[in-house]
A and B are shown apart, each in its own frame.
Chain A
Amino acid sequence: MKLDRYELKSDDQLTTFGFLSEGPKGKIEKVIQFSLVNQHDLYNLSLGDKNSLTGDIDDMIVTDNGDSEKVLATVVAAIYAFCDKFPEAWIYATGSTTARTRLYRIGINKYYDVVENDFEIFGQTQNEWERYQKGKDYEAFVIQRKKS
């Protein structure tokens, strides 16, 4: 399965990535960041838009640039790149809103067949982790690169 995606750039540490979303709303700079949570090897994954006027990164904005599938595929690519450097990392992801978390779930479902062979994928329900099940609602997700 070939996934159309944007060209990724990153900082020297390979923890912050950037790409340019292109669509009806024009070119929008997007930033993906893997932030270390307080424990070793636990990271939070977030995606936001760069405000072209202020330079601020906003994860609440609704871009609606008609390229959500390509954006999701680019985020998946960034996860592969990040885990290539940090193979032990656990990556936590949740949406800024319930609706956005649902979008993430739809995205995981879409790419599940591609990524399930490479990643351990769990969903959070009521403060517990369980193996991800397609079609089930989760509050958050956590993944780790499978050991080869």
Chain B
Amino acid sequence: MKSILELNDKKIPVVRTDKSLNKYSNVVLFPEKVEKAKKAFEKAGLPDLKKKGR
């Protein structure tokens, strides 16, 4: 059985549930950022996955 430390070395971490964080689940904590994101997607759309890097 792997220890927590070994599991935490993986890219996908072990995440424990903390019920105290549920109070934020349906609350937008950073509305200005969400608005900025909304505008960015409205203007630029989604990135083109076919676009090659340089």
Write the residues of chain A forming the contact surface with B, with a CB cutoff of 8 angstroms. 2, 5, 7-18, 31, 33, 35, 37-39, 42-44, 46, 48, 57, 59, 77-78, 80-81, 84, 90, 92, 94, 96, 114, 118, 120, 122, 124, 127-133, 139-140, 142, 144
Contacts and interface: CB of A to CB of B under 8 A. Distances in A.
Contact of A17 (B15, B22, B30): B15
Given A9-B17, A31-B29, A57-B29, A92 B52 contact: no
Contact of A38 (B18, B20, B21, B38): B38
Query: Which among A18, A39, A120, A122 has the greatest number of chain B C-beta atoms within 10 A?
Result: A122
B49 A120 contact: yes
Interface in B1-39: 8-9, 11-22, 24-25, 28-30, 33-34, 36-38
| Size category of the binding interface on chain B | 35 or more
B24 A131 contact: no
Query: Which among A2, A17, A18, A46 has the greatest number of chain B C-beta atoms within 10 A?
Result: A46
B54 to A, nearest CB: 6
Shortest 3 CB-CB contacts between residues of A and residues of B: A131-B53, A9-B18, A129-B47
B49 A124 contact: no
A39 B18 contact: no
A124 B47 CA distance: 9
Contact of B12 (A31, A38, A84): A84
B41 A10 contact: no
